[in-house]
Amino acid sequence: MSILKKRFTNKQLIVGIGSALIDILAHEEEDFLERTGAIKGGMTLVDKDFIEHTLSKITNQPSLVPGGSACNTIVGIGKLGGNARFVGKCGEGSMGNFFKCGLEKHNVEPALFMSSLPTGRVLSIITPDAQRSMFTYLGASSETKPDEISVGCFDNAAIVHIEGYLMFNKDLILAALNAAKAAGALVSLDLASFTVVEESKDILDQLIKEYVDILIANEDEARVFTGFSDEIKAVEALSKQVKIAVLKVGERGSYISSRGKIIKIDPQKTGPAVDTTGAGDLWASGFLFGLVNGYSLEKCGELGSACGWEVCRVIGAQIPEEGWERIKKLLE
């Protein structure tokens, strides 16, 4: 039984807040990263012209899907049959409508603010090793104002899931954290990228100590944040100030730490990864869905692992229906 089950007796809504972005997915060779200045496995903030200039250099036709870290997680929860809402800001044009319709299609309640700026976008360069390196133009999402984030955004939420990219705007993430706590929700924070952790060290410790209940990180993020490369030491350090800490270690699985106990979750892998875009985001989908439904931490981790693996079998961060059918067998 989940240690949080009693808290979720009457609340099962999970609300994500983050950047409303369109993912542009392009396959290229390793040398493309060097020619464009991409940080392998990382994220670089750029302007719209940079995205368009880089797109002019790609050799393969890209695909477009609604995206953004927290959005990917919330869409996954909606696909699992969960109660899901996404809070963000997008443009008023066709891309914004594309984003909104994508949420509704996947059983997610849109709570979107609108802007005259174009909807943000992420150019993900996928190399043959299935790693993705990202250039991000925040666009309309960068105009989200702290005073737009009210307690009502998180009304009836059991968990508010916040993407680490919001740490680039200290006032905005503080507004989200305070509103989430005022709404009586637990706060889940995904550290998002090792580059985010590097640039947010001055505020990260304080935010986690004061607000965060569930902390999610991959091995690169954890190493930068804790200083430990050893997996056990890293997850122990992550868990010091939160109720639950998660360390994702790719094809080796994951660790969950809570109340001094560390649980090792084995990976679910049956073949080579095609693309790691959204793997961590979808891991969080399964894990958080499991928590609000009262599953044990072991079961939550297994569900997260299944979601994370299924998304690695396809291009982009959207699992096809046959993948969801395999995942839902774990719920039977």
Pairing status of strand 13-17 against strand 157-163: parallel
pTM for the complete prediction? 0.89
Which pLDDT band, with edges at 50, 70 and 90, does 5 fall under? Answer: low
Mean pLDDT of 101-110: 94
- Read off the pLDDT of residues 303-325 as tens digits, 9 standing for 90 and up: 999 999 999 988 778 899 999 99
Whose tokens are 């993705």? That residue is 132
Q: What is the pLDDT of residue 230?
A: 95
DSSP string for 172-230:
HHHHHHHHHHHTT-EEEEE---HHHHHHTHHHHHHHHHHH-SEEEEEHHHHHHHHS--S
Does position 7 have pLDDT exceeding 70, yes or no?
no
- The mean-pLDDT minimum among 57-61, 173-177, 209-213 falls in 57-61
Task: Kindly list the domain boundaries of the chain, sorted by start residue.
Answer: 9-20+69-115+147-331
pLDDT confidence tier of residue 10, bands split at 50, 70 and 90: low
Give the residue ranges of DSSP H helices in 80-153: 94-105
Domain 9-20+69-115+147-331: homologous superfamily in CATH:
Ribokinase (3.40.1190.20)
Query: What is residue 64's predicted lDDT score, i.e. its pLDDT?
Result: 84
Query: Residue 130 region, left (φ>0) first, then alpha (ψ -120 to 50), else beta?
Result: left
**Mean pLDDT value across the chain:** 91
**Max CA separation in the chain (angstroms):** 53
Q: pLDDT by residue (tens digit) across 116-134?
A: 999 999 999 989 988 889 8
Provide, rounded to the nearest whole percent, the portion of the chain with pLDDT above 90.
72
Residue 192 contacts residue 165 (beta carbons within 8 Å): yes
Q: Helix %, strand %, coil % for the chain, to 5?
A: 45, 25, 30
Q: Are 273 and 313 in contact (CB under 8 A)?
A: yes
**Digit-coded pLDDT (tens) for 252-265:** 999 999 999 999 99
Extract the runs of DSSP E, i.e. beta strands, from the chain. 13-17, 21-27, 43-45, 63-67, 83-91, 108-115, 119-126, 132-139, 157-163, 186-190, 214-218, 244-248, 254-258, 261-265
Residue 63 pLDDT more than 90?
no
How far apart, in whole angstroms, are the C-alpha atoms of residue 81 and residue 102? 16
What pLDDT, on the 0 to 100 scale, is given for residue 1?
Answer: 39
Rounded mean pLDDT, 187-214: 93
Name the least confident of 70-84, 153-167, 172-186, 308-322.
Answer: 308-322
**Other Cβ atoms closer than 10 A to 159:** 27
pLDDT band at 66 (very low <50, low <70, confident <90, very high): confident
Distance between CA atoms of residues 206 and 104, nearest Å = 35
157-163 and 63-67 beta bridge pairing: unpaired
